Each structure stands twice: as C-alpha cells, then as structure tokens.
Structure 1
Amino acid sequence: MNKEEIAFLQGLLETPSPTGCEEPVAQLARERLAGTADEIATDTMGTVTARLEGRGAGPALMLAAHMDEVGLMVTYISDEGFLSVAMVGGVDAAVLPGMRVDVHTEGGVLRGVVGRKPIHLISPDERKNVTPMDKLVIDLGLPADQVKERVRIGDEITYGVGFELFGEGMAVSRAFDDKCGVYVAARVLENLAEAGRAEGAFIAAATVQEEIGTRGAITCAHAVNPDVALAFDVTHATDYPGIEKSKYGSITCGEGPVIARGPNINPVVFRRLVAAAEAEGIPYQLEAEPSVTGTDARAIQVTRGGIPTGLISVPLRYMHTPTEVVCLEDLDNTVKLITRFALDLHGDLSFVPGMGDGTGEKVSAGEQIEDSERAAAESEAARMDDVMESLDREVRAIEDFISSEE
C-alpha cells in the first residue's frame, strides 16, 4: 500500500460517519471515483453506487461495503450541561469511561470526555462492575447555557481517535469496520478500469445503516439488482489471548482475506472466490457461517428472487472499540482477489446450485444426463465390487472350514 493509498484510507477512517450520518464519507467516495466510474448515484437512504460498465455481456457484479460506524447519540442534557447518551450500533460501555469523544453538532465538532467517578470515590463492590450506558455522562467543559445552545437532542458522537501505523505492517483506528471496505471497493473499481474492464458491469456500493440492520443494503440491492454480488466486511480475528478457536475458528491477521462458507453464501460464488485466490497465489482463510451473517450479505442474498452472494472479509482485532486493528497486507490481497474474481466472470455462467459443474460453468442437458449415467454406473460398479469381495470372503471361509475338517 503506497502513501497515496494510505492517505485515502486514513481520510475515510477519520471522517465521521456514525449510522444515519454518513454524508461526509459518501462525499469522499464520490470525489474519489468521479474520474473513473461511468456513473455515480446516491439514493434517498444515502447509499452511494459507482458503476463501471463492462466490455461485453458478462454478469453484473456488485461489491457492497458499509460506510457507517458505531457511535453514540445525545438523549438528554442535564441542568449542569452534561450529556446523557445512547449507543448507535453495538458499543461496549466498558471501553467508554475516560474516552475522548467528538460531538457532531450543526455548528461544528465539540470535543468531550466520558466522565467516571475516580477510583478513590468508588466503593470496592462498584469497582467490579461496568458502568451502564445510562449512567455515563459526557463533559464538554463548557458552561451549561453554552452546551444547551450548541448541542441538540439527537446529535451523534464518535470516538475521538484516528488512524495510526504501528508494529510491522499493522494499523489501528476507529471505524475499520467497515470503512476499510469502502477503500477496497474503490480500489477494485480502479483496478478493473486499468485492466480494461471486466466482461460485465461492476458496481461499487458504499452502503449505509448496516450497524442497525443492513438497511442500506436492502434498498440498494433491490435497486441495482445485480446478477451476482459480494459483500465485504471485517471479521473477528482470533489470534490474541482470550478467544476460543474451537468456538470461533482460527482467523489470523496477516494470513490473507477470509472467505465465508455457509447457507448465506452461494456455493458457486464461494468456489470461484477460492479459485481466484489460488490462481493469483493469494493466501486466504476460510470461515464457517452456519446461519445468516451480520453483514450486508444477509440482505443482498434474499433480495427480489434471490441474488447469488459471497462474503469476503479481513481479520480485525478488537471490533467496535476505538482501537480496531488490521494488517494492511490483508487489505491489499483482498483488492487483488476481488479484482481477479471480477475479471474471471463471463456470460456463460450459472449460479444455480447443482446446475453446473460446481464453479458455475454450464453443462448441457446431454452432458448432465451423461454425468448422471456415469455416476450411476460407477456406483453400481462399486456395489458389485463390494458383493464380489463379500462372496470371496465367504468362499475362503468355507475352504478354511473344509481344510480344518480334513
């Protein structure tokens, strides 16, 4: 990842976009792709789609990544000027005390801190408990009258931290979930344009309100109605202490993108993602998803008459905290993988499970009959082999008995 790409990623991460207030990041996405995409649109939910037409009649591929981040919302302003808040998306109250936060008001951003009684004033029993969200307050360091003048109920709040490189090839920031996906989608579109385009259209979709129910993906998938889709999101890395791999699987930062497998995933899309990774020599990891996922894939798959959908992720440590951690090489490899997947799509594919050769390549009715007859013949031959082996055993047993009697 070069300096220009890192700067784009950092800009996405540090631009506030709590759920329902994604407009600033949407503008960054539009500006980035304005010179490359053939068409850019923004729907009434706020989702941005950038379309790159194909060079032929291949299937239209949509890549969806949500641009909203978790945050807080002002629910009450006390007479003393302190803010009470509720969470927007899944926020762990345990990480908030002592945090610096940014309150996004109509007049601009106000810096605040999440207050908590000092340990000297907390009873021994209280020290063992997490302060619930409704007992936390945000201190803006302003007189009460100024707070009430500048802050309104419903103003949203983000963690007051940004992007930083650290360690070996690692980066830490708030909101990698999932603004790194907006980065990936933009880079894939640019790569496809440089490669002469895929056979079919490619649509990069920066969706909204995923953190409260994949709402942007619901409307976007219905409107775009692609022939095939990928959702990109982050997934839980399990490479640090305290995570049970026997329960959550083995997912490691730096070991490549993660390809999901399960009922929420079209099996043909899954196989073609694996084939693309292997063709490019890209390391990859597999993740079991035995039910619907908590990603945009859950909404896209069941849109209209059903859209064949895959899910690809990068490992992320400490999800929904102010210090989410990823390996930048995993992002680079994800861009390469999805680019290859898109370039390999062509017009003679079937994503209907069981109706092709397993990778989407169509076979004729005659070939299907021949395959079925061949499989039946092989099964019958195997059965006869078993029968003959059983008869041989019986004959040997009889011969052994006769020999013993003699």
Structure 2
Amino acid sequence: MRKESKEFLEELLLAPSPSGDEVKIQKIWMDYVKGFAHKVETDMVGNVIASVNPDKPFKVMLAGHCDEIAFMVNYIDDDGYIYIAKAGGISQKLALGMRVRILGKNGVIKGVIGVKAEHQGGAKDEIKIEDIYVDCGAKNKEEIEKYVGIGDYVIYDMDFEYILNNKLVGRGLDNRTGAFIVAEVLRRVSNKNPNVALYAVSTVNEETNMGGAYFAGSSIEPTMAIACDVSFATDYPDVDNRKYGKIKLGEGPILSKGSPINMKINRLMEAAAKENSIPVQYELTPRTTGTDADKIRLSGKGVPVALVSLPLRYMHSPSEIVSLKDIENEIELLTQTILRLKGDESLKPLE
C-alpha cells in the first residue's frame, strides 16, 4: 500500500464516526477524494458522493459506510454517573472496565465504564445496557453537565495497531475500511478513462438504519451497485464451520451468494478475479445481506446489487482484526472489475 493511502486509512481510523454523527470523518474522506474525483457532492443525510466520468450512461455505485457503533448518553444521576443507550449493535458485555471518550459539547471528555470488583461480588452474569454506567470522575451531576449532555455519543478509547502478519486491529474497522476501499478504487480508476461512470459513496447511518444508502441509491439511480462492507471471519477457536462456513483472514475478499445478489455482477467480479489471480471467498446471504446493499437494491425502480466483504474477526468488539492483504486484494478486484466493463452489459438474469 502506498504511503499516502496508508496515511489516509489511519486518519479515517483515528476519527470518531458514531452512527448519526459522521461529520468529522466525512470531511477527511471528502478532502482526500477531491484530489482525483471529477465531481464531489454531499446530500441532506450526510453522504459524500465522489464520481469519475459522471456523464457516462452506465453508472456503477460503490458504497462503503463510514459510521461506527457507539453508545449515547441517556441519563445522568445525582452523583454524576452517566447511563447509556446503544447506537447500533454494540455489546454491553464487552464494555465493562473499558475506557471511553464522550464526544461532549465542549470537546472530548474521557471516562471508564465501571465494573464491580470481584472482591465485592463482581459483575452480574447477565448484564443489561441499563446496568452499566460511565465514571468520568465528576463530583456530582452539576459538574458533569458542564461537559456532557443527553444524546452525546460515547465511543471506546481505542485506536489502531498493526500486529503480526500484516494485520490491523482497532475499533470501527466495520466499516471505515469499506469507506477507505471505495475511495481507493475511485483513485485507481480516475486516470484510466473507464467506459462507465463510477460513483464512490461514503455512506452514513448503516449501523442504525441504513438511511444513507437509500438516499444515495435514490439520487444516483445506478445501473448496478456493489456494497463494500465487512463480514465474519470464522478462522478462530470455537466457531462452528458447519454452521457458519469457512472464511479466513488473508485468503481474499468475500463474495455473497443469495436472493438479494445479482448473479451477473458476481460473474463479472469472478472473471476479473480469475484474470488477475485474485483470491476470493464466499458467504451465503439467502434472504437479506444486513448491509447497505439491501437499501440500495430497493431504491428508485430497483437496483441490481452485489456485496463484497472484507473478512473480519471479532465484529462489533473494541478490537476488530482485518488483513491488509485482503484490503489490497479487494481494491484490486473492484478496480479490475470496473475497468473490464464495456458499458453495455445486461444485468437481467434472463438475458
């Protein structure tokens, strides 16, 4: 990965991007793509849409959501302890004892999610979200309210690290890696004069309502769309491969198969993979994908969609893991797929 691209990825990973407040990360993404996109737009929900050859009739949309799971301030008691609610599929079980950052009205304030000492009975076996609280060291409610208000977002006080075998660990790799990937594909395609229009979209709100994807799909009206998200690696202990399949880090991006997926788009990607010796893996999405693809598919008059996912361990934990090798292979797969398009392909299954 080139130095400038890696620095861009790291900048994205350092930015807070709770689902519903993605402004900071979107400004970073927008500033980056302005260097090579032919056109850059934003919309009413907060998406950033960057395009190459936007006047071409055959329009390809790549969507990678930039938002991360988080908590929100829900209640402050008289002693200054902060109780929280969920913004997305974040687990209270993993929160005990974790340090957090509250994105307060006057800036970031740090705290810790309290946990009862084992000597005093320890944590409950069943932890509910209303059981956990944030301790910022405040003396009382009046003091903490100078910094924190109801609805402020709370994220883990975790950034990123590189570990063995070219792997990356951090919070919110789901799916800031996807936002990075679609920007990098646009960059690589931008000076190749493709036969199609390419729209790379950093979408918002995927972790909570997928509204960003619907807004983007409705405004672009793409000929085809590919959602770029993460999916479950199953190569660590105690995962039942008979139930969840076999997905390994470092073995390539994942193509989805199932009723939401347009088979012809998959074949286009498989041909590009074969031609360029790019490894791919497969997962099943028989009913829905649980990603932006679902909302894009149902936007406008309907959009043929596919889903390409980055293998990821420990999804929705404070320390997710991906492989930089898989990131590179996914970028190359999507780049080569787009460059092979003639712009007159039929995506109708019966043609």
- Say whether the fold is shared (TM-score over 0.5): yes
Instruction: Give yes or no for the alignment of 1:215 onto 2:215.
Output: no
The 3-state SS of whatever aligns with 2:119 is helix
CA contact (8 A) 2:167 2:324 kept: yes
**Mapped partners of 1:247, 1:80: distance in 2:** 47
**Mapped partners of 1:57, 1:120: distance in 2:** 67
**Mapped partners of 2:108, 2:259: distance in 1:** 43
Aligned partner of 2:270 in structure 1 is: 274
In the TM superposition, residue 11 of structure 1 has moved relative to its aligned partner by 1.0
The 3-state SS of whatever aligns with 1:210 is coil
Aligned partner of 2:249 in structure 1 is: 253
The 3-state SS of whatever aligns with 1:223 is helix
Task: After superposing the two structures, state which structure 1 stretch, 139-148 or 243-252, moved more.
Answer: 139-148
**Selected match of 2:340 from 334, 337, 344:** 344
The letter of the residue matching 1:268 is: K
In the TM superposition, residue 86 of structure 1 has moved relative to its aligned partner by 0.4
The letter of the residue matching 1:4 is: E
The 3-state SS of whatever aligns with 1:230 is strand
The 3-state SS of whatever aligns with 1:68 is coil
Instruction: Give yes or no for the alignment of 1:149 onto 2:141.
Output: no
The letter of the residue matching 2:146 is: E
The 3-state SS of whatever aligns with 2:13 is helix
In the TM superposition, residue 308 of structure 1 has moved relative to its aligned partner by 1.0
In the TM superposition, residue 67 of structure 1 has moved relative to its aligned partner by 0.7
Aligned partner of 2:73 in structure 1 is: 74
Instruction: Give yes or no for the alignment of 1:181 onto 2:178.
Output: yes
In the TM superposition, residue 37 of structure 1 has moved relative to its aligned partner by 0.9
Aligned partner of 2:161 in structure 1 is: 164
In the TM superposition, residue 58 of structure 1 has moved relative to its aligned partner by 5.7
Correspondence 1:120-131 to 2 at 5 A? 120-122=119-121, 129-131=125-127
Report the TM-score, using the length of structure 2 for normalisation. Answer: 0.97
Aligned partner of 1:32 in structure 2 is: 32
| Greater Cα radius of gyration, structure 1 or 2 | 1
**Selected match of 2:308 from 296, 305, 312:** 312
**Mapped partners of 2:42, 2:300: distance in 1:** 21
Q: Kindly provide the CA deviation profile for residues 25-80 of structure 1, in whole angstroms up to 9, marking residues without a partner as x.
A: 100011001121111111110011001116x8462101001111000000001111
Aligned partner of 1:19 in structure 2 is: 19
Correspondence 1:4-403 to 2 at 5 A? 4-53=4-53, 57=56, 59-122=58-121, 129-144=125-140, 145-194=142-191, 196-355=192-351
Q: Kindly provide the CA deviation profile for residues 309-360 of structure 1, in whole angstroms up to 9, marking residues without a partner as x.
A: 11001100000111000000100000000001111112221000121xxxxx
**Mapped partners of 2:5, 2:219: distance in 1:** 30
**Mapped partners of 2:344, 2:187: distance in 1:** 25
> Aligned Cα RMSD in Å?
1.3
CA contact (8 A) 2:109 2:147 kept: no
**Mapped partners of 1:265, 1:138: distance in 2:** 42
Report the TM-score, using the length of structure 1 for normalisation. Answer: 0.84
**Mapped partners of 2:2, 2:36: distance in 1:** 19
Relative to structure 1, the CA distance from residue 3 to residue 130 in structure 2 (aligned partners, 3 Å threshold; closer, same or farther) is farther
Aligned partner of 1:392 in structure 2 is: none
Give the ranges of 4+ consecutive aligned residues of structure 1 lying more than 4 Å apart after TM superposition.
none
**Mapped partners of 2:22, 2:149: distance in 1:** 18
CA contact (8 A) 1:58 1:345 kept: no
The 3-state SS of whatever aligns with 2:116 is coil
Q: Kindly provide the CA deviation profile for residues 153-194 of structure 1, in whole angstroms up to 9, marking residues without a partner as x.
A: 000011100010001111100011000011101100110013
**Mapped partners of 1:350, 1:218: distance in 2:** 23
**5+ residue gaps, structure 1:** 356-406
**Mapped partners of 1:58, 1:220: distance in 2:** 17
The 3-state SS of whatever aligns with 1:90 is coil
**Mapped partners of 1:5, 1:99: distance in 2:** 30
What is the identity percentage for the equivalent residue pairs of Structure 1 and Structure 2? 37
The 3-state SS of whatever aligns with 1:350 is coil
Aligned length: 350
The letter of the residue matching 2:173 is: F
**Mapped partners of 2:305, 2:233: distance in 1:** 23
Greater fraction helix: 1
The letter of the residue matching 2:22 is: E
**Mapped partners of 2:251, 2:346: distance in 1:** 31
**Mapped partners of 1:317, 1:143: distance in 2:** 39
CA contact (8 A) 2:99 2:157 kept: yes
In the TM superposition, residue 214 of structure 1 has moved relative to its aligned partner by 1.2
**Mapped partners of 2:298, 2:340: distance in 1:** 24
**Mapped partners of 1:6, 1:50: distance in 2:** 20
CA contact (8 A) 1:59 1:345 kept: no
**Mapped partners of 1:79, 1:198: distance in 2:** 61
